[in-house]
Structure 1
C-alpha cells in the first residue's frame, strides 16, 4: 500500500513559506516532494531566492535570478520573468532604493473605497468632505 500524495495546495504552502516557519513534518514532506519532482525542486529554489531578494533588497541579483529562471523549464516562471523584464529598470530600483510608495497607495485605496461606497448615493460635495481632512 502506498501513501497518499500531498495535495497541490499543501505543497504550494510548503514551498512558499519560509523554511523556518515549517514544522519538522512539513519540512520532511517538502524534502520528499522535492526529491521526487525536479520541477517542484527548481520552483521552490527560485521562489525562495526571489523572496530573499525582495525582503533583503538585493536588486543587484535580479538579472542573475532572471537568467536562472529562464534556464529551467518552468513556463509559469517564464511568464513572471518576462513581466519583470518588460520594466526591468523600475523593478531594479524598487529592490534597491529605500523609498516606498506604500503610504500613497494606502490613501489611494482608501479614496477608491469611499468612492465605491458612495456611488449613486451622494454627490461630489459629500465625497470631498469625507476625503479631505477637516480644517
Structure 2
C-alpha cells in the first residue's frame, strides 16, 4: 500500500484500481479515474521560470526611459537592481546623464563626472575620461540648442549614395542623385 500513502499520491488509475480492488473496492475504474483527475492537475509540473535576461536586454532596460518599459520588464529590472547594488548605482548615473542631455543642463556635467569618478563603475569612469578630453565641446553640445546633427545626417546620406554607386556610374550621375534627393 505504499503507493496510496506517501508524500505524493498515486495518480495512475489502473494501478490504483488494482490495489484498491485487492482491498475490497467494487466500483469501476472510470470512477477512480474521475477521482484522480483533480489530483493530476494539482501535481503537474509548474512552468519554467522566464529565461535569464541577456546583458543586452539589461543594458536596454537601464538606458530606456522608465515610462517606456513594459510592466514585465520594469519588474524584472527591479529584481535585478535589488540583487545588485552596483547596477543600482550605475542606473542612477545613467539616468542622471540622460537628464543632463534631455534637459540641456551641460553646466552640471563636471559635477556629474566627479560623482561618477567617486562612486561609478570602471566603464563609466572611462566614459568620463573621454568626456574630459574635449569638455568644452561636450558642454556646449549639452547646453546649446544648435548642433551639427543635420550636417552629419547629410554627410551620412551622401556617403551611403557613394557606396551604392561605387564603380557603377560617373560623377555626373552621382551629382544628380545627391541633388535629386535634397
> Match of 2:66?
19
Gaps of 5+ in 2: 1-48
Q: Is it true that 1:36 corresponds to 2:56 in the alignment?
A: no
2:167 pairs, out of 89, 98, 120, with 120
- Residues 4-42 of structure 1, C-alpha deviations (whole Å, 9 max, x = no match): 754333322221111122234433332222222121011
Does 1:9 find its partner at 2:64? no
Structure 1 69/129 Cα, relative in aligned 2: closer, same or farther at 3 Å?
Answer: same
The answer as to whether partners of 2:106 and 2:143 remain within 8 angstroms in 1 is yes
Question: What's the TM-score once normalised by structure 1's chain length?
Answer: 0.85
Q: Could you tell me which residue of structure 1 aligns to residue 114 of structure 2? A: 67
Structure showing the higher helix proportion among its residues:
1
- Quote the Cα distance in structure 2 between the aligned partners of 1:65 and 1:14: 21
Pick 1 or 2: higher relative contact order, CA cutoff 8 A, min separation 6: 1
Aligned to 1:129: 176
Confirm whether residue 108 of structure 1 aligns to residue 108 of structure 2.
no
Are 1:56 and 2:103 counterparts?
Answer: yes
Q: Cα RMSD over matched residues?
A: 2.2
* Partner Cα separation in structure 1 for residue 103 and residue 78 of structure 2: 25
Aligned length, in residue pairs? 133
Moved over 6 A (4+): none
Q: Find the aligned partners of 2:155 and 2:91 in 1 and give their Cα distance.
A: 34
